[in-house]
Each structure stands twice: as structure tokens, then as C-alpha cells.
Amino acid sequence: MHPAPFAYKAAHSVEEALELLRSHEDAKILAGGQSLIPALKLRLTQPAMLIDISKISSLRGIRRENGKLIIGSGTTHREIEKSSLVAEASPLLASLAPQIGDVQVRHRGTFGGSLAHADPAGDWPAAALAVDAELVIAGAHGTRTVHASDFFTGMLSTVINADELLTEIRVPGEGTPGIYLKHRNAASGYATVGVAVTATHNHGRIGTVSIAVTGATPVAFRASAAEHALTGHAVSAHLLDEAASHAADGLECLSDIHAPAAYRAQLVKVMVRRALGKLLHA
Amino acid sequence: MAVATPTRAFGASIRRREDPRLITGRGKFTDDIHLANAATAMFVRSPHGHARIVSIDTSAASAHPGVLGVYTFENVKGFISGMPCAWPTTNTGDTLKLATYPPLADGKVRYFGEAVALVVAVDPNTAADAVDLVHVDYDPLPAVINNEAAVAPGAPLIHDSAPGNQAFRWSLVGGDTNGALAHADVRISQTLVNQRLIATPLETRCAVADYNPASGEVTVWVTSQNPHIHRLLIALSTGIPEHKIRVIAGDVGGGFGAKIPYYAGEALCIFASKELGVPVRWSESRSENYVATAHGRDHIQHIEVGATKEGKITALKVTAYASLGAYPSTAAPGVPTWLFGCIIQGPYDIPNNEVHVIGVYTNTTPTDAYRGAGRPEATYMLERVIDLVAAKVGRDPVEVRRLNFVKKDQFPFKVANGTLTYDSGDYELALDQALHTVDYTHLRAWQEEQRAAGKLVGIGFSSYVEICGLGPSSAANAMGFAGGLYDSATIRVHPTGKVTVFTGVHSHGQGHETSFAQIVARDLGLKVDDVDVIHGDTDKVQHGMGTYGSRSAAVGGGALHMAGMKIRAKAQKIAAHLLEVAEEDIEWVDDAFRVKGSPDKAKTIPDCAFAAYMAGNLPAGVTPVLEEQHWYDPENFVFPFGTHICVVEVDRETGETHIKRYVAIDDCGEIINPMLRDGQVHGGIAQGIAQALWEEAVYDENGQLLSGSLMDYAIPKASVMPHLELGHTVTPSPHNPLGVKGIGEAGTIASTPAVVNAVMDALSPLGIHHIDMPLRPAKVWAAIDAASH
Ligand SMILES: Cc1cc2nc3c(=O)[nH]c(=O)nc-3n(C[C@H](O)[C@H](O)[C@H](O)COP(=O)(O)OP(=O)(O)OC[C@H]3O[C@@H](n4cnc5c(N)ncnc54)[C@H](O)[C@@H]3O)c2cc1C
């Protein structure tokens, strides 16, 4: 449990971090270290240099602007969990944050680090997809904004290039009801399956619905067919049953010693149904 | 220490006196030992389950700056060529095939994680870098993991010395099982898997060795449950004279059996210290602990049961395939044999029973004792059997237990195979108290309502008896254990009446510094805070056998009490002398020797101690100083028992088990400290529930350990534990000096079948009668899904 040798540098601004990334080959960003440090200790990754971004104050914090919640990538899970602003503006994020790891992990691990890491069993990717977050990525030539639906490219991979940095995440902030349900792996506490759902309804009719699933497949995904089946329809237990029962159609689920693919597919259906039931009271 | 302690110490819930030290980081664990110039040892470990070693190239590692030495089997074999097995047992005509267990792989690796080379460097980072520089060329061989596949024709051969991968066949026979089976009203056949587990003590194993070339002495700090056994085995395996070896196991962070064995890690630290002339330290990482420290359980059992139509079991036949792993660890052969087979009929009067155990080698980490060691394997089997019989004859499992119990008036009770005589018990009393606690009649009514509402709820029972207080040396010797199982105590009353106690058993979480002080405080009329307990250092403590098999209170505590009585006997002479009366005219009342009829004329132990050290005014024939020693060899084992009840709800859609209630009624005889007793039961139940629901060491077919870290091996977390409702009955052991029986393993032994029986009861309306552990949600859901198609 001793990492291979590496150089370490703490950056104090986004520009400095980008400069360091540019000028050092094989450098890696260190945020909360809750995924990276274990990988280093197991020597699964052996970067030549770590660039610590945890001291960049501009990457940290939560604010509301033009109805959007703007969350710095370096904001910790715990800060999100404890934020009254998040509780009001995004019930989904507020419901998810306390379900990550344990208190110690949440005090160090960051929102941006989780998204950038793109762990197939990570929790935040589901929420980011469900709220259609905009991810702001800074690079040598300025910043670009990517929708969550375009951000994740595969297991542990995203569109962030080696010389780029995720700086902030923007999510809708009008308080849309949302919930995150998680089936924990009994050993790791990570999501065997996690479902993030937001839904509005008015006079018994469903307005918008979004359903995103993590843990089941190599990359988190939106259950679009189920969303379509629900949008605009009258709320009924039967409708929710029906929509949820197709939530895993065509999925190629992950399989491991804890949960074979068929079980993950079952969890997707059951948990989507339960999340919908909680939000739509049916 | 600011802990209020009543004088009436024995039986009080005194807080653990060791906790202020441990909680504030003032403990001294092996890894806290920092000696000047100490080098760090690390191991190159096999990435294969089974492979021939073609070559090992250590040149790059040796040349790496800061590396002091790189060693393979060829280099170390002159110092130690094999790890000894202390329980080389068999009882059938077949000879025991005790494979050589080399400290580093000798030409072949036989399990994933086996140590292949030793690297010693100036610091841990350098050592870790050098480990990566050792190049080993392997020629992979087919591996065998499953216990029955290992002894099937054509299986890959693990040791040339053990044809067919069989280490032994072992049997015990009582009565006429085949005859009784033939005449039984009902018969049941069932196969049960008792899965492989990983002990996971919070502290991994560590060692620090400091060899002094000038004196030839070596001091070894090591995470051991039994320092004197370690010293003996080090002496026998390395040739270092026993009196030149000091083994220190100070604070040890949990053991659960896995720190009984003597391992290559500590032996090779001694080797390296001797070779390099500096102290050498080694600390396992968690990943290393998972492959290099003994695993537990791992049985496949085939069971045949015969019963009357009322559910009285007339015959029980068990054939178990037990894995030793790749090599025979220190106590390994004894665990699935004697510790399992003797108690095969548990708390039941089963007149005809047979147990046959086939010990096999597989390409897995060696196994050894793990909390309960053998008895959980027997209890789980029996308690599943009772429920299967109850279902078959259509009776309440409570009634079937009652019908089969050894009755209160049958004690002392000799088991059918003749090996054990249960000392005392009242099994129905514990069962009745458990039933009363759950309000059984209402509980079953509630279950009916829940079932009618479509819920899967179940009630599970587990009644057990265990063999504790290991044990009489004569029995241990007869069972092939290469050692006595007595234990020892020295009580040193200082001139001021303060006391230091030296115990031959070892505390690694049990709390002896508290409970043992309570025993002495009562016996000598002192405050608990006046008594300190020393253990775990072979240079301080007289020979003792350490802690396992719930033996500390029964055997170590027994020795302590007897030594205390010797102190009292000597002090009584001194007291009589000081009081100027005849010895017969004083009595021990209210913590002092008092003149009969004039209780104010009294001398306390401190009074007598002072006189004993002044020594000028002692009665004739009484020697100076107040210090006594006792070695206690029990006349029998002790047999704690009890009944646990678990109530569960199973989520039909996800297969998750939710424990709604958990009641444990345990009888460990006299209780020294109820709080410590409860703590032992809590921890034990947590581990037992975890075996039922979560824990499992999983290998793939090539011998890779898939559950090789806490990311994949599910130990119980505080957050998933149910509330535990504990109770007890008190049936003292008639032969133990303190009347105690032992409580360290009861929770683990009892809880596993209680949980599994509850889940099976919940699933019984679906026609599901058995699922092998652990009852992971995915597995339970798959069974539910299959049953509803
Ligand atoms: C015991 C434990 C339990 C856990 N349980 C859970 C759980 O239940 N659910 C869950 O979702 N997660 C869990 N985690 C992971 C945790 O949430 C991590 O915090 C998270 O995955 C990574 O965030 P981090 O800030 O720690 O990133 P780091 O570990 O520092 O970095 C992770 C990766 O992301 C890159 N990176 C980080 N920040 C940026 C950025 N701003 N721009 C570009 N790249 C970046 C790094 O280079 C690295 O490759 C657990 C971790 C531990 C140790």
C-alpha cells in the first residue's frame, strides 16, 4: 500500500493548474483523493505528478444564478449535503449527497472529482444526467460547456482531455421534486444500482420526468423510453408499473460476485418504480 | 483512571479499564514499535493460484538503492525450511499427509498471494518499489478450489506428498446410524455449504524482530493470541534456543483465531534481522492480510437424517469435505475434526450419529481456527437439520427442538460418540426465556397476518451448545494437539497491597485487564483499581497457552482464582499471627480476615502483605513475600449453551433481508462482568449475521481471490446491525473454580443459523427450503424468482 514515486504540486488558481497540466506529461489532478489515493496505493495508477486543486478557492462553493445552481467542482459531498440552498433548489442532489460513502469520505470527496472519475458505481453521475447538468471544462483555449448526456464516454472515462479541468457544474435550480434511491453493495457501500428521478405533476397529470440510472451498466444512462411512457399522462399505479417494468429493456448490465446482470436489471425496474411512487404518490 | 469501581467487583458492569488507553491512541500495538535503524520487510506474492516457478530474478531489486537484501526459499531454508503444524491429527487408519509448508514458495506456488520472495529495505516506500522489481517467471498450472473437486479423480495435484489432494480421513461413530436410518419414519438428505470466511481483525498482522548477534537473543513483537506458543514454534522451527527468544504481543487489535497460527512473516523477520544485523519490521496491508492470513470455515457437508414421525431424530450422518487450503496451518487439522465432530449432536440427544471428515488441499489461502472454529460448522448444520425435520413432519421447530433436547436431569451427559461429557445445562430454560422475550404466540399470529398481506416474514431459531474452556491437557493430547491446554497465573501482592497479576492467556479485545482484575479484587478483598493485569510477554509472564476457544475466563480465570486462594491461605497464617489468635479462630468476611466473634479485629490483604515483606514478624514456617503461582489444568471442558431467535422480513422484489428482531439468551455460567459479556455477544452476533448474509471469500476457477479487499468482502457495519435484545440464564459449570463457561464465541456460533432459519421460514410459503450462505440479496431474489415461475 505504498504508491510509486510521484512529484506533487499544489495549484492556487485554475490558470496555474492548467499551466502545470500543460507543462508536465503524465500529470494527474488530485481533488479530494478519495478515489485517486486508493488507486495510487494499489499502484493501479502511477502518474509522474499530482496537481492538487483542493486549495483553489474559486473551485469551491455553491451559488444560485439566473435560476441555476452553480456548484464549484471542488465542492465536497458534505457541503452539498449540508447546503440549505441545495435542499431548496435541487431536492434530488440533496437526497443523494448523504448516501455517498461515510462522513469522512464526504468531507473530502468532491462533486467534480466524482463526475470526472466516472466510476460506474458512483452516485453523482446519475444525478448529473437526471438534471441534465452542464459541466464547465477549462482548457488552454478557454472554457467549454458540455451537457451531462455528452460528458460520460465509458467506464471511468469522460470528455475531459488530459490538459483540461472540470471547474463548475450548473444544474436547474427551481426546486423540481427529485429523489435518489440506492441499493448499496454490502461490502463497498457503492451503488449496485442507483436511480435518480425527478418528476413534476399537476392535477393528477405528470409533467416532466427524468430517470437516470447508475451502477447497472458501464456508464450511467437515462431511461428515456420509460420517461416518454410517463410524460403528460395521468398518474396511476398501473402506468408507473408499466413504465418501470420496461426500464431495463435492452440493457446489458454489469455482472459481479455480488450482483449478476439479471439481478441488476431487476433492481433497475424495482427501484425506478419505487422512486416514481415516492415522487408521484402512486 | 477516572472509573468508579465498586469494591464488590465480581459481577459488576465495570467499564473496560483498557479503553482510555486504546481510545486515546496510547495503546502500543506491534506497528507502534519503532526501533532505531529498523529495516522494512515486504513480500513478493504470487499472482497465480497454482503455478510452477520457472525463475526468480532478484538482480534489479537487489541493485535498487536502499535495498538491504532480497531472499528466496533457497536463501532462507537454512534458517527455516517449513512452518510447523501443532495439531497433526488423524484417527482413522489412513496416515496424515502433512504437506511441507515452506516459508517462501519452493519451486511452485499453490495459492494466490503465496509469498515468493522477501525484500528488505531501508524504508517502506523503497521496499515497495523493490517488490515491483523482482521478476518471477511462472508457468501457470490448473487450479482446484472446490473441496470435492479437489479429491475427484483427475484433479490437479497440489502436493506430490498428498495423492488425490487428501490430507486425512477422520471419523467418529456413535451408536448404529445405518441401522437407525433404515428404520426411520422420515429421512432427509441435504447438502450444506459452510462458506470460506476471512477473519478481518481491525489490526492486520505485524512483526518486529530484533536479533542481538552478541547475545544470540531475539526479541519478537508479534500480533499473537498466544505468545508462548509462538515462542515454542519459533524455537522448534529455527533452532534458536527457546530461552533466547522473547515474544511480546502487547496490544493486539483483534484476532478471531487468525492470530493463533505461527506464520512465515514473523519467522522471516527474525531471519532478516539475524542476517542484516538490524531490527526488521513488517506490517501487512489489508490486501495482503486477505491472502496471507489464515481464512476460516470452508466445508461442504452431506447430511443424512432419520427421524420419527414426531420429529425425534434417531440418526444423523455427516460427511464433510473440509479445506485446509494449500498448506497445513498451525492448528488447521484439529478444527474441522475434533472441534467439529465431537459436538456433532449439539444440544440434542441423538443416540446414533456418525461424522466423517475428509481434509483436502485446495489452491487457496490456508485455513485455521476462526471464531467458533468447528462448532459453528456443527451448529449451523444441526440447526438447519432441525428445521428441515420440523418442516418434513409438519411440526413447529420449537417443539422439535424441545423433543430432541438433552434434558436437564441427564447431566452430566455423555455424547453418543463418547468423546465429550457435557458438564451442566438446562436447554429448555434458555429456549423458554427466548420464547417469552419474543412473545412467541403473538409473534406467530403476527406472522400469519403479515403473510396474509403478502409479506415474506420469518422466525428463525438456533439452539446450541459449545465446547469451551479448552481444555483438559489429557483430552487435548488424546486429540493429537501437540501441547497442553492448562493455563497459568501469578499474583504478586506488592508491599503496599497493590497487585500485579500475570496471566498466561491473552487479551486482544476481550478485556482481561478489567475482568481478571475483578476476579482478583473479589478474592483478595481489594479495589479493582489496585490490580493490574499483565499478559503477552514471555519474559514477564510464566508459561501459558494464550486465548482461543473461549478459554480465558474458564482456564486463565480458573488459574487466577486458584492462585488467589493460595495467597489467601498464606495471608491467613500471617493474619492469625498478627492478631495473636489461632488460624481456626479467624474467618474471611467482608474483604478481611476477622476474629470470629470480634469482627473489628481484622487484617486485610495489604496488612498481611506489608508484614510479609517486612518479614521480621512472620509465623514459623512462613516465607517472606506474598506472591503465588498456579497452573490450572481443567478436569473437563465447559459447555455454554443458549437459544437465539431472529425475525426477518425479506423484500420479495429485491431479495434483501431486513432483521426485525434479534433475541439472544445465552448461558455462560457465572458472569464476571455483564457489560463485557454483552460486548462479546454483540461482536459475535455481528460476525455470525455477517456469515449468514454477507461474508464470503470467493475465488475464481484459476484461484484468484475475487473478494480480496473490503470493496468486495462484506464485513458487517454498525449501520446495518439490528438492535440486539440480550438475556441470560445462569447454569454454573460444576467443575470450574469460578463456575464460568465462556462467552467469546457463542454469538458467532448461534446467530448464523438463527438468521438463515428465519429467512428460510420467510421463504417457505414459496416452497423454498434451502439456500446456501451467504444469503446475498441477488441469490435470494433469484430463488424467489425461480420459485414463482
Ligand atoms: C471509503 C469510500 C467510500 C466511498 N463511497 C462512495 C459512494 O458510496 N458513492 C460514490 O459515488 N463514491 C464513493 N466514494 C468515492 C468518492 O465519492 C470520491 O470522492 C469520488 O469518487 C472522487 O472524488 P475526489 O474529489 O475524491 O477525486 P479524486 O480521488 O481526487 O480524483 C478522482 C479522479 O478524478 C480526477 N479529477 C478530480 N477532480 C477533477 C477535476 N476538477 N477536473 C478533472 N479531473 C478531476 C482525478 O485526476 C482522478 O482521476 C467512496 C470513496 C471511499 C474512499
Write down the pLDDT at residue A243. Answer: 97
Are B135 and B248 found together in one domain?
A: yes
Are B579 and B657 found together in one domain?
A: no
Rounded (to 5) percent helix, strand, coil in chain B: 30, 25, 40
Are B670 and B704 found together in one domain?
A: yes
Q: Residue B316 has which C-alpha cell?
A: 444423523
Q: How distant is the alpha carbon of residue B218 from its chain centre? A: 28
Are B459 and B492 found together in one domain?
A: no
Residues B496, A65: Cα–Cα separation, whole Å: 75
For helices A261-280 and A237-245, the axis angle rounded to 10 degrees is 150
Q: Are the Cβ atoms of B706 and A2 closer than 8 angstroms? A: no
Is it the case that residue A261 has pLDDT exceeding 60?
yes
Mean pLDDT of B666-674: 97
Residue whose C-alpha cell reads 455427516 in the numeric block = B318
Give, in degrees to the nearest 5, the angle at Cα B312 between B306 and B313.
Answer: 35
Give the pLDDT confidence of B675-722 residue by residue, as tens digits. Answer: 999 999 999 999 999 999 999 999 999 999 999 999 999 999 998 999
Residues A145, B36: Cα–Cα separation, whole Å: 56
Q: Are the Cβ atoms of A4 and B132 closer than 8 angstroms? A: yes
Are B758 and B668 found together in one domain?
A: yes
* Buried/exposed code over B280-296 (b: 16+ C-beta within 10 A; e: otherwise): bbbbbbebbbbbbbbbb
Give the pLDDT confidence of A58-105 residue by residue, as tens digits. Answer: 999 999 999 999 999 999 999 999 999 999 999 999 999 999 999 999
| Cα-based distances in Å from B621 to B11, B570, B574, B617, B624 | 36, 11, 11, 11, 10
A270 at the B interface (CB within 8 A)? yes
CA distance A263 to chain B (A): 6
Eight-class DSSP state of B157? P
Paired with B248 in beta bridges are B221, B537
Residue whose C-alpha cell reads 497540466 in the numeric block = A21
Mean pLDDT of B538-547: 97
Residues B19, B676: Cα–Cα separation, whole Å: 12
| Cα-based distances in Å from B96 to B156, B212, B249, B295, B461 | 20, 38, 32, 21, 38
Residues B157, B155: Cα–Cα separation, whole Å: 6
Query: In ligand 1, which atom is closest to the CA atom of A184?
Result: 8
Are B666 and B725 found together in one domain?
A: yes
Question: Under the phi-then-psi rule, with left for phi > 0, alpha for psi from -120 to 50, and beta for the rest, what region is A248?
Answer: alpha
Is it the case that residue B7 has pLDDT exceeding 80?
no
Write down the pLDDT at residue B4. Answer: 41
Residue B542 lies in a domain: yes
Give the pLDDT confidence of B264-281 residue by residue, as tens digits. Answer: 999 999 999 999 999 999
Spacing, Cα A111 to ligand 1 middle (Å): 8
Q: Are the Cβ atoms of A258 and B776 closer than 8 angstroms? A: yes
- Which residue among A183, A186, A266 places its CB closest to the CB of B694? A186
Mean pLDDT of chain B: 97
Q: Residue B747 has which C-alpha cell?
A: 454469538
Residues B164, B304: Cα–Cα separation, whole Å: 25
**What CATH number did the domain enclosing B668 receive?**
3.30.365.10
Q: Residue B780 has which C-alpha cell?
A: 435470494
Q: How many domains does chain B have?
A: 3
Residue A59: what residue type?
Answer: L
Q: Which residues of A touch B698 (CB under 8 A)?
A: 257
Q: Which residues of B touch A259 (CB under 8 A)?
A: 777-778
Burial class of residue A233 (count of CB atoms within 10 Å of its CB; 0-12, 13-18, 19+): middle
Write down the pLDDT at residue A136. Answer: 98
Residues B628, B567: Cα–Cα separation, whole Å: 6
* Buried/exposed code over B315-354 (b: 16+ C-beta within 10 A; e: otherwise): bbbbbbbbbbbbbbbbbbbbbbbbbbbbbbbbbbbbbbbb
> Nearest C-alpha to atom 46 of ligand 1 is from which residue?
A29
Closest CA to B710 of B113, B200, B153: B200
Residues B228, B563: Cα–Cα separation, whole Å: 20
Are B553 and B696 found together in one domain?
A: no
Is it the case that residue B5 has pLDDT exceeding 70?
no
Closest CA to B554 of B493, B640, B463, B666: B640
Write down the pLDDT at residue B8. Answer: 66
Spacing, Cα B123 to ligand 1 middle (Å): 29
Say how many CA atoms lie within 13 Å of B328 toward its Cβ.
26
Residue ending a domain, among B632, B652, B672, is B632
Enumerate residues lining ligand 1, CB below 6 A.
A 28-36, 53, 73, 100-101, 105, 109-110, 112-114, 116-117, 119, 122-124, 160, 165-166, 189-190
Q: Are the Cβ atoms of A187 and B711 closer than 8 angstroms? A: yes
Write down the pLDDT at residue B260. Answer: 98
Residue B37 lies in a domain: yes
Are B530 and B432 found together in one domain?
A: no
B625: three-class secondary structure by DSSP: coil
Q: What residues of chain A, 42 to 61, have a C-beta less than 8 Å from chain B?
A: 42-43
Query: In ligand 1, which atom is closest to the CA atom of A37?
Result: 29
Contacts 24+ apart (CB under 8 A), A202-207: A204/A234, A204/A235, A205/A232, A205/A233, A205/A234, A205/A235, A206/A230, A206/A231, A206/A232, A206/A233, A206/A234, A206/A235, A206/A280, A207/A231, A207/A232
Mean pLDDT of B101-130: 98
Q: How many CB atoms are located within 10 Å of the residue B568 CB? A: 18
Whether residue B53 contacts residue B116, with contact meaning beta carbons closer than 8 Å, is answered with yes
**pLDDT more than 70, % of chain B:** 99
Write down the pLDDT at residue B789. Answer: 83
Residues B376, A232: Cα–Cα separation, whole Å: 57
- Which residue among A43, A189, A257 places its CB closest to the CB of B707? A257
- Given CA atoms B617, B619, B620, B621 in this order, what sign does their dihedral have? negative
Whether residue A190 contacts residue A121, with contact meaning beta carbons closer than 8 Å, is answered with yes
- 3-state helix/strand/coil string of A81-133: HHCHHHHHHCHHHHHHHHHCCCHHHHHHCEHHHHHHHCCCCCCHHHHHHHCCC
Residues B722, B703: Cα–Cα separation, whole Å: 35
Paired with B586 in beta bridges are B595
Are B683 and B628 found together in one domain?
A: no
Paired with B80 in beta bridges are none
* Residue spans of beta strands (DSSP E) within B175-294: 186-198, 206-212, 217-222, 245-248, 280-283
Are B402 and B438 found together in one domain?
A: yes
Residues B328, B73: Cα–Cα separation, whole Å: 18
Residue whose C-alpha cell reads 451442566 in the numeric block = B424
- Which residue among A183, A187, A263 places its CB closest to the CB of B714? A187
DSSP string, B384-434: HHHHHHHHHHT--HHHHHHHHBPPGGG-SEE-TTSS-EE----HHHHHHHH
Q: Which domain holds residue B672?
A: 374-387+396-467+639-787
Residues B253, B119: Cα–Cα separation, whole Å: 26
Q: How distant is the alpha carbon of residue B401 from its chain centre? A: 27
**pLDDT more than 90, % of chain B:** 97
A203: three-class secondary structure by DSSP: coil
Write down the pLDDT at residue B775. Answer: 98
Q: Are the Cβ atoms of B128 and A42 closer than 8 angstroms? A: no
Give the pLDDT confidence of A163-174 residue by residue, as tens digits. Answer: 999 999 999 999
Q: Which residues of A touch B707 (CB under 8 A)?
A: 187, 257
Write down the pLDDT at residue A1. Answer: 82
B459 CB-near residues (< 8 Å, 6+ apart)? B438, B443, B444, B447, B645, B646, B647, B758, B761
CA distance B508 to chain A (A): 25
Residue B688 lies in a domain: yes
Residues A256, A269: Cα–Cα separation, whole Å: 19
Residue B299 lies in a domain: no
| Cα-based distances in Å from A136 to A65, A133, A141, A169 | 15, 10, 13, 6
Q: Are the Cβ atoms of B715 and A187 closer than 8 angstroms? A: yes
CA distance B401 to chain A (A): 33
Residues B665, B657: Cα–Cα separation, whole Å: 22
Are B679 and B748 found together in one domain?
A: yes
Are B530 and B650 found together in one domain?
A: no
**pLDDT more than 70, % of chain A:** 100
CA distance B88 to chain A (A): 35
Residue B97 lies in a domain: yes
Question: Under the phi-then-psi rule, with left for phi > 0, alpha for psi from -120 to 50, and beta for the rest, what region is B163?
Answer: beta
Mean pLDDT of B350-377: 98
Eight-class DSSP state of A234? B
Whether residue B291 contacts residue B708, with contact meaning beta carbons closer than 8 Å, is answered with yes
Q: Name the maximum alpha-carbon separation found in chain A.
A: 62
Is it the case that residue B471 has pLDDT exceeding 90?
no
Q: How distant is the alpha carbon of residue B637 from its chain centre? A: 15
Whether residue B495 contacts residue B613, with contact meaning beta carbons closer than 8 Å, is answered with yes
Residue B63 lies in a domain: yes
**What CATH number did the domain enclosing B88 receive?**
3.90.1170.50
Confidence of residue B92 (pLDDT cuts 50, 70, 90): confident
Write down the pLDDT at residue B93. Answer: 81
| Cα-based distances in Å from B565 to A24, B287, B570, B609 | 75, 48, 9, 15
Residue B237 lies in a domain: yes
In order of their start, the domains of chain A are: 7-52 (3.30.43.10), 60-172 (3.30.465.10), 178-280 (3.30.390.50)
For residue B151, give the H/E element and its range. none
Mean pLDDT of chain A: 97
Is it the case that residue B2 has pLDDT exceeding 70?
no
Whether residue A96 contacts residue A127, with contact meaning beta carbons closer than 8 Å, is answered with yes
Whether residue A101 contacts residue A92, with contact meaning beta carbons closer than 8 Å, is answered with no
Whole-structure pTM value: 0.97
Closest CA to B381 of B197, B194, B198: B194
* Buried/exposed code over B90-103 (b: 16+ C-beta within 10 A; e: otherwise): bbeeeebbbbebbb
Residue B585 lies in a domain: yes
